[in-house]
Amino acid sequence: MTDIIKASLPGLPRRHAAERRFQLYGKLAITLALGFLVVMIGMIGVSSIGAFTQTQIALSINFDADSLDPDGTLDPATLAQANYGSLVKAALREAFPQVKGRRDMRKLYGLVSSDAEFTLQNKVAENPALVGTTGKFWFVASDDVDQLAKGNIDASLPETSRRISDKELGWVEQLRTSGDVQRVANVSFFTSGDSREPELAGILSAVVGSALSLLVCFVLSFPIGIMAAIYLEEFAPRGRWSDLIEININNLAAVPSIVFGLLGLAILLNTFGLPRSTPLVGGMVLALMTLPTIIIASRASLRAVPPSIREAALAVGASEVQTAFHHVAPLALPGMLTGAIVGMARALGDTAPLLMIGMVAFIVDIPASILEPATALPVQVFLWADSPERAFLEKTSAAIMVLLLFLVLMNLAAVLLRKKYERRF
Amino acid sequence: MSAYALQEADTEVMAAAKPETEPLIAARNVNVFYGDKQALFDICLDVPEKQVTSLIGPSGCGKTTFLRCLNRMNDLIDICRVTGDITIGGKNIYDPDVDVVALRAQVGMVFQKPNPFPKSIFENVAYGLRINGLVDSKGELKDAVERALTQAGLIDEVHDRLEAPGTSLSGGQQQRLCIARAIAVEPKVILMDEPCSALDPIATARIEELIDSLREKFTIIIVTHSMQQAARVSQQTAFFHLGYLVEYGATDTIFTAPSDERTESYITGRIG
C-alpha cells in the first residue's frame, strides 16, 4: 500500500521549511533585541557600581578648646560658629609634616571633601564633650582621591595627563599603608541632594521631586482621564463630534512631550503665574502629556467589557450612570489602572517638558512640598551627564539605574494589578 | 407581494386571533429601522396578560428586534428608529414622558447567553432590588433574594453558597440566576430572548418548567428558534418572516392548522 498521506501534498516540505525559517528569523530578532538590552543595561550597571560606595580618609583631629570654645562655656552658638575647617587643615598638616609651600598645602587640603568641616561641626553639636579631646575620624575623600581608589584614574599615565599629581599619589599611598583609607557603602547618595562636589552629590532631591511631580500628575490625570473615557465610551452620542474628539486624542498622544512643556511655560507659568521649577507645574505638564494615554487605554478597557453586562444592568432597571459606575467601570478599572501606570512610567522618564518649565535648576535642598523648587530623576541624569568631573560619570549611571528601577517597579505593579483584578466573563 | 398587501393580510390575521381578555401589551403599526434598512414592517400584536407568548421565525426575521422594542432596549443602538405605538397597560411606552428606567423595571429581560454580573449570587439578585428601592432593610433584602431564587428554582442548589460568584455556576444555573434577577424586581412582563439556545437539553427542560410556573405571576414573551419549545411552553405564538408578522394566534392553531402557507412551510421545516 502506498503512503497516501505523504503522496497527496507535493509542496509540503517547502511549506514546512518556510515555517521553520520564519521561526528562526523570529528567534534571531528576539535574541538580537534582548542582546542589545542586556549590553546597554549591563554597561550602565557596571559603570554605576562605583557610585554606591565611597572612599573615606581617617584623620586624627585635635578639638582644640582654645580655638573652638575660648570662653569655656560650651555655648552651642559659639560652637556652631567655630572654625572647624582649620581643625581639618591642622590634622592634615600633622599627618603630612613634609608638605611645605602654599600650593602643595592647597592640594593637601583638597584630599578630603569640603564637607569635612561640617562633619566635625555636627559631631561637636551632638556631643560638646568632644571639645578638648583628640580622636580619629573618617572623612569623605575628595572625588579625585575617590576615583583613584576605585581605579578609575590610571596612575601609570604621565603626570600631566591625569587629574592627580605625583605628590598627591604619594600622600594617598601613605594613608593607604597606614590603613587610613577605607571604602564604605555610599548611603549619602540616597539621603542627600545634589551638590557641586561629586563625592557629596545624592539623588534624594531628584527622587522626591519626581515622586511629587508624579503624585500631582496622577491626581490630575487619572480622575480626569477615566471620567473623559467613561463619558466618551458610555454616554457621548456617536457622530462627527465624537470622531473629531477621538482623532484629536489619538493625535495628542503622539505629540512630542516638549510641546507640552512649551504649553506649560506659556500658559501655566506666564499666564497664570504659577511658581517656576515646582513639582506642581511639572506634574500638571506631565498630566497633560499622560492624559491622552490614559484616555485611550481606559476607552479600550471599557470597550472590552462585554455589552451583555450593560444589558443585564439596564434590564433590571439601572440607569445609564448606575450601569456605568456599578458594573462597567469596576470591570474596566484594572485596565484603566494599567494604562495610567504605563502613562505615568512614561511621564517619570520624560525630561523635555520639565526643562521648559525650569525643573532643570540646580537644587540642593530636598523639596518638602509641591510648591518648592525641585528637579526630577531624568533631569538629574541630564545635569550630571553634563558635568565635567570624572566622578559624575558613575553618578549618572547610578541615577539611571535608580530611574530604571522605578520604571521596572511601576511596570511590575501594572502587571500585578492586572493579574490580580482581571476577571473573565 | 407588496408591503401594502401584507399589511392588509396582517390586519386580517389580527382580527381573527384577537384574544378574549384585554391585552396587556398592544403593538400598533410598529416599524423599526436600522439606519436606512427597515427591520420590522407594521407589526400589530396583542399580548394577553399572564400567558406565554412565543415569537418564532427564521433568523433575521425581526423577532428579537420586536422583543427589544418592548423594553426599549433598542434605544441603546444609535441608528435604530422605532415608529408606531406600543402600549403596556394602556400607556404608550414611546411617549416622551415615559421614563425608560422605570419601564425596564416593569419589563424585565432574560438574554440569549446567561449574563450574570461578575459578583456574588446574592448580589446578582439583590442589585435590582436595591437600585429600585424595593426593600428597606437588610433582612427584607435577604428575604426578597431568597424568594426570587426559590421562584427561579435555584435555591436548593445555591442556598449554602450565596456568596460564591455568579459566574461559578453552570450554564443552566446561570440562566436561572438571570431569571431570578429579573423576577426579583417583580416586573409585569418578562422578555426572554432565546433563553435556552446556549443550554443542554436537561437545563433547557428545567427552564421550560420554570417558564410554565412563572406564567401564574408574569406575562412572558419568549423568542425561540425551537418550534418544539414554542409548542411546549406557550399559549400564543407569533410567526415572523422577513420583518413581517405573518401569523399570530393560539399556539395549538398555529402548529396544527396554520392559515398562512409560509407558516406551514416554516413549521414543517421547508423554510428557515
* pLDDT digit string, tens, across residues A256-308: 999 999 999 999 999 999 999 999 999 999 999 999 999 999 999 999 999 99
Please judge whether B127 and A309 are an interchain contact, meaning their C-beta atoms are less than 8 angstroms apart: no
Mean pLDDT of chain B: 89
Please judge whether A318 and B101 are an interchain contact, meaning their C-beta atoms are less than 8 angstroms apart: yes
Judged by a CB distance cut-off of 8 A, whether residue A163 touches chain B is: no
Please judge whether B131 and A316 are an interchain contact, meaning their C-beta atoms are less than 8 angstroms apart: yes
Give CA–CA dist B34/A10, Å, rounded. Answer: 50
- Residue B101 has its nearest CB partner, among A306, A317, A327, at A317
- Residue B113 has its nearest CB partner, among A308, A310, A314, at A308
Structural domain spans, chain A: 53-185, 204-421
List of residues 6+ apart from B49 with CB closer than 8 A: B21, B22, B23, B24, B219
The nearest alpha carbon in chain A to B70 belongs to: A315
The nearest alpha carbon in chain B to A331 belongs to: B118
Confidence at B251, pLDDT banded by 50, 70, 90: very high
Neighbours of B100 (CB within 10 A): 18
Judged by a CB distance cut-off of 8 A, whether residue B148 touches chain A is: no
pLDDT of B8 > 60? The answer is: no
- Provide the whole-model pTM: 0.82
Instruction: List the single range of A108-117, A158-167, B98-107, B252-261 with lowest mean pLDDT.
Output: A158-167
Amino acid type, A385:
A
Q: Which residue, B163, B164, B181, is CA-closest to B111? A: B181
Residues in chain A within 8 Å Cβ distance of B105: 316-317
Judged by a CB distance cut-off of 8 A, whether residue A318 touches chain B is: yes
By DSSP bridging, strand B219-223 and strand B52-56 are parallel
Give CA–CA dist A421/A300, Å, rounded. Answer: 16
Q: Where are the alpha helices (DSSP H) in A349-390?
A: 352-356, 377-385
pLDDT of B235 > 70? The answer is: yes
pLDDT of A325 > 50? The answer is: yes
Judge whether A344 and A217 are in contact, CB under 8 Å: yes
Q: Which residue, B25, B43, B49, B47, is CA-closest to B218? A: B49
Rg for chain B, CA atoms, rounded: 19
A342-353, pLDDT tens digit by residue? 899 999 999 999
Neighbours of A61 (CB within 10 A): 23
- Give the pLDDT score at B12: 47
- Give the pLDDT score at A414: 87
Proportion of chain B above pLDDT 70, given as a percent: 92
Mean pLDDT of chain A: 90
Q: Which of residues 181-200 of B touch A (CB under 8 A)?
A: 181-182, 184-185
- Give the pLDDT score at A150: 87
A1-42, pLDDT tens digit by residue? 566 666 667 888 889 999 999 999 999 999 999 999 999 999
Longest dimension (CA), chain B: 60
Query: What ipTM was predicted for this assembly?
Result: 0.86
- Give the pLDDT score at B3: 43
β partners of residue B92: B87
Give CA–CA dist B100/B188, Å, rounded. Answer: 15
A110-155, pLDDT tens digit by residue? 889 988 888 888 888 888 888 888 888 899 999 888 988 888 888 8
pLDDT of A417 > 80? The answer is: yes
A75-119, pLDDT tens digit by residue? 888 888 888 888 899 899 988 888 888 888 888 898 899 888 888
Judged by a CB distance cut-off of 8 A, whether residue B132 touches chain A is: yes
Q: Edge-to-edge, what's the strand order for the sheet holding A53-62?
A: A134-140, A53-62, A181-185
CA angle B118, B119, B125 (to 5 degrees): 115
Confidence at B267, pLDDT banded by 50, 70, 90: confident
Please judge whether B105 and A312 are an interchain contact, meaning their C-beta atoms are less than 8 angstroms apart: no
- Give the pLDDT score at A238: 83
- Give the pLDDT score at B268: 86
Residues in chain A within 8 Å Cβ distance of B131: 316-318, 322, 326
Return the CATH number of the domain spanning residue range A204-421: 1.10.3720.10
Give me B70's grid cell: 418592548
CA B54 from centre of chain: 8
Give me A66's grid cell: 582654645
Mean pLDDT of B49-58: 93
pLDDT of B15 > 50? The answer is: no
Instruction: List the single range of A189-198, B14-23, B193-202 with lowest mean pLDDT.
Output: B14-23
The nearest alpha carbon in chain A to B167 belongs to: A425
Judged by a CB distance cut-off of 8 A, whether residue A240 touches chain B is: no
Please judge whether B105 and A316 are an interchain contact, meaning their C-beta atoms are less than 8 angstroms apart: yes
- Residue B131 has its nearest CB partner, among A306, A317, A423, at A317
The nearest alpha carbon in chain B to A320 belongs to: B101
The more confidently predicted of residues B96 and A78 is B96
Alpha carbon distances (Å) from A157 to A149, A173, A394, B250? 15, 16, 21, 108
**With the CA atoms of B151, B155, B156 and B162 taken in that order, what torsion angle do they form, in degrees rounded to the nearest 10?**
170
- Give the pLDDT score at A2: 60
**With the CA atoms of B130, B135, B136 and B140 taken in that order, what torsion angle do they form, in degrees rounded to the nearest 10?**
-120
pLDDT of B29 > 50? The answer is: yes
Mean pLDDT of B154-183: 93
Return the CATH number of the domain spanning residue range B3-267: 3.40.50.300
pLDDT of B5 > 60? The answer is: no
Proportion of chain A above pLDDT 90, given as a percent: 52
Please judge whether A315 and B78 are an interchain contact, meaning their C-beta atoms are less than 8 angstroms apart: no
Q: Which of A316, A321, A325, A424 to mutate to test the interface with B (most CBs of B within 10 A)?
A: A316
Give CA–CA dist A305/A332, Å, rounded. Answer: 7
- Residue B108 has its nearest CB partner, among A309, A316, A326, at A316
A-B CB pairs within 8 A amount to 66
- Give the pLDDT score at B176: 94
Amino acid type, A118:
F
Structural domain spans, chain B: 3-267
Please judge whether A309 and B167 are an interchain contact, meaning their C-beta atoms are less than 8 angstroms apart: no
CA A109 from centre of chain: 33
Q: Which of residues 266-305 of A touch B (CB under 8 A)?
A: none
